[in-house]
Structure 1
């Protein structure tokens, strides 16, 4: 039987984002002021040593930052990544559950500045800071 996410997390619908099928499944917990995202590090997300590929963590941070901006806009603004800076602090073993949130820490016109921490077992394992260009978009639910 597949591992189950913690209580309150549901599967994030990414059917409109085909690339995310390669990196998921990704889960979301809403209801707090900031949505939390999580995923298990599966064999396809792991390197030869049995730890999460750093590219998987980078992809998750990028997706979570962007999705958080879309949610904060009530699904009326899309965004794309201008830049994303990453700091990998510790490895995540295969099978591990990771969680992340994104925080908007600045806005200049249609450019948003976002920070994202990824945690495993209560410890931050990666930090990301990025700039995202926002634009009007049809409903992105």
Structure 2
């Protein structure tokens, strides 16, 4: 299925399953999906993600970028599910049109005893719209 038909159909790409983020701000943001086998996250843009000119709001992009660690921690032994954000950087490269499938291809750069260093390229229907990196506090075993 092409990126444009995905956007038109409003589908979630194969291999993605909804995360259970059912508290406070996460509920207001909407569903975020994690790929079952790859270190990817994604969401389908809705009207509540748009800024006044009809593209993805920068705050929505930053909020999504702050969830990158959720694509990484699946394979890491962790004794506490909360991984507080120490630092996050978001470089806005291009606008994401309304209705786009937003996807982060996430990489674990380094894991220390107490920190996870993560980076990603974020795309809208396959076109790069952001580059981001984050540092998260890690509570290992």
Match of 1:61 in 2: 65
Match of 1:29 in 2: 35
Match of 1:81 in 2: 85
Q: Any idea what the Cα deviations from partners look like across 1:39-98, whole Å, max 9, x if unmatched?
A: 1111111011100001111111111x2213431324534311111111000000111111
- Structure 2 distance, partners of 1:107, 1:26, is 24
Structure 2 SS opposite 1:79: coil
- Structure 2 distance, partners of 1:133, 1:12, is 20
- Structure 1 distance, partners of 2:126, 2:10, is 19
1:101 Cα deviation from its structure 2 partner: 2.7
* Count of aligned pairs: 132
Given the two structures, how large is their TM-score scaled by the length of structure 2? Answer: 0.82
Unaligned stretches of 5+ in structure 2? 1-8
- Structure 2 distance, partners of 1:74, 1:120, is 31
- Structure 1 distance, partners of 2:15, 2:105, is 15
Distance 1:14 1:104, change over 3 A: same
- Structure 2 distance, partners of 1:120, 1:46, is 13
**Runs of 4+ in structure 1 over 3 Å off:** 74-78
Structure 1 SS opposite 2:62: helix
- Structure 1 distance, partners of 2:97, 2:79, is 37
Q: Any idea what the Cα deviations from partners look like across 1:13-64, whole Å, max 9, x if unmatched?
A: 212x3321111211222123x2x2111111111011100001111111111x
Q: Which moves more between the two structures, 74-83 or 105-114?
A: 74-83
- Picking from 25, 37, 48, the partner of 1:19 is 25
Question: Which structure has greater strand proportion?
Answer: 1
- Structure 2 distance, partners of 1:95, 1:88, is 18
